[in-house]
Amino acid sequence: MRSHCVTDGMSPAFLGDEAVAAWTASGAPLVDLLRQAHTPGRLTGFRRGGRAAVLVTEPRHVHQVLGLGGDRYVKRSHRARPLLGDGMLTATGEAWRSQRKLLQAMFTGRGIQRWEHHIEGAAACVVDRWAERARRGEPTDIAEDVQFFTVDTIWRSLTDRPLDQETYVDLAAVQDIVAALPADVGGATALPTEVEAAIGALDERMLRALADARVRHRADGAGASVLDRLLDAAGTDPAYTDRLIRDELVTLLVAGYESSARTLTWAFVLLDEHPEIMERAAGDPRAVEAVLSETLRLYPTGWLLPRHSPADETLDGWAIPAGTDLLVCPYLTHRDPEVWPEPETFDPGRFPARSPLPPGAYLPFGIGPRACLGTRFAMREMEVLLGALLARFTVETTGPAGEAVFGINLRPAGPLHARVRERT
């Protein structure tokens, strides 16, 4: 095992200024700088523009920053704020606490059963689409199909209405906005005008959905959707202005469809490389769950979870001066060979883990107070769709293979074309 560092106040090791300057000049993605700085057993980082950033990858450090230190290490000027406003992902302090409390019960425990019929309904649409493709012998784009599914499930849950093609086109434009957001924590926040315009169009769509829901809400009384819950809150809490409801809707849409869609696409990329695992998973729900868990280990879409230390802190003996950014990086943690032997190998047999994993070692949904609200929803929708598709179809992708793009989330580049056939 690595030696546990106990030297009080030891300073993290920072990359030399020349290395940072060379990286800046190269225009390479942030993940390359993180890989350069990463030194197992040490707390390392880099300085840019007078700001210090420390890379957090060791499980016990991750646990201390996100889990135990959830109140001390805070989110700050989130990269997605121009899109998400003051929604739950970006909000902080008391505002965040009460926003989370309002929706928590709908997404945890028995609360998630209310979404089962939406998930089943949306999955049936994709199965029908694939059956049609198989009958006609036409190729399909898996990345697009799973994205339609995840937008459909979240839209049904938000509004109680299935997704129509026109709404889908409007909502799917959000992916261009997400792609244009700075991947970098210290990146500029000024957005290109076409992205500002796309945000404006999305706002219009959301405010229209809100107006429709308000009419129905008044006529039919409280419904069961997320929007109904937000409208109920607006009746008693002046904080729930139309603007905040818009922010919460966009947050749930973006958080709710993007990660699940990309994870499902990654699963097909990996299964295509391992046909024997694909065959084993067909008709076996536990194997499907393991495939998804292992996919999320190799490709956690939330590959970088930035935090900020407003006060001087000590992290496991390392001095963290006030003003330091802490870059928790699940992507690197999930490839730590001390926890994950042969970390680059896709092996769903690792799940469920035979002995408890060290805290902080596996965090595709984050950990601590700011962990993903939609963990159970996401796992359920992905299990239902992947299970249904693998049980009924064989899949042969025709490319292009998904090269990893480390943006604000970790996604496979490009479409994923495939031929699907009914199992005989």
Member of 155, 240, 362, 377 binding ligand HEM (CB under 6 A): 377
**Among 216-224, 336-344, 371-379, 395-403, which window interacts with ligand HEM (CB under 6 A)?**
371-379
Helices (H), 274-392: 275-281, 285-298, 330-333, 375-392
Member of 55, 372, 395, 408 binding ligand HEM (CB under 6 A): 372
Residue 260 within binding range of ligand HEM, rule CB under 6 A: yes
On whether the CB atoms of residues 66 and 72 are closer than 8 A, the answer is no
Residue number, 302 or 402, with CB nearest to ligand HEM: 302
Residue number, 167 or 301, with CB nearest to ligand HEM: 301
Residue number, 213 or 252, with CB nearest to ligand HEM: 252
For residues 340 to 369, the per-residue mask of contacts with ligand HEM, x marking binding by CB under 6 A and - elsewhere, is: ------------------------xxx---
Residue 291 within binding range of ligand HEM, rule CB under 6 A: no
- In the chain, DSSP finds a helix count (H) and a strand count (E) of 16, 12
Site for ligand HEM, residues 200 to 259, rule: CB under 6 A = 251-252, 255-256, 259
Helix, strand, coil abundance in the chain, percent, nearest 5: 55, 10, 35
Count the neighbouring beta carbons within 10 Å of the beta carbon of residue 291: 28
Residue number, 12 or 368, with CB nearest to ligand HEM: 368
Q: What is the DSSP string of 367-413?
A: -STTS-TTHHHHHHHHHHHHHHHHHHEEEEEEE----EEESSSEEE-
Residue 84 within binding range of ligand HEM, rule CB under 6 A: no
- Min dist CB 80 to ligand HEM, Å, is 10
Q: Determine phi and psi for 401, rounding to 5 degrees.
A: -70, 155
**Among 141-149, 175-183, 185-193, 298-306, which window interacts with ligand HEM (CB under 6 A)?**
298-306
On whether the CB atoms of residues 412 and 404 are closer than 8 A, the answer is yes
Site for ligand HEM, residues 98 to 137, rule: CB under 6 A = 100
Residue number, 340 or 362, with CB nearest to ligand HEM: 362
Helix (H) or strand (E) holding 233, with range, is helix 226-236
For residues 314 and 69, what is the distance between their CA atoms, to the nearest angstrom?
Answer: 11
Categorise residue 259: left if φ over 0, alpha if ψ from -120 to 50, beta otherwise: alpha
Residue number, 380 or 421, with CB nearest to ligand HEM: 380
Binding region for ligand HEM (CB under 6 A): 88-89, 100, 154, 251-252, 255-256, 259-260, 263, 301-302, 305, 364-366, 370-374, 377-378
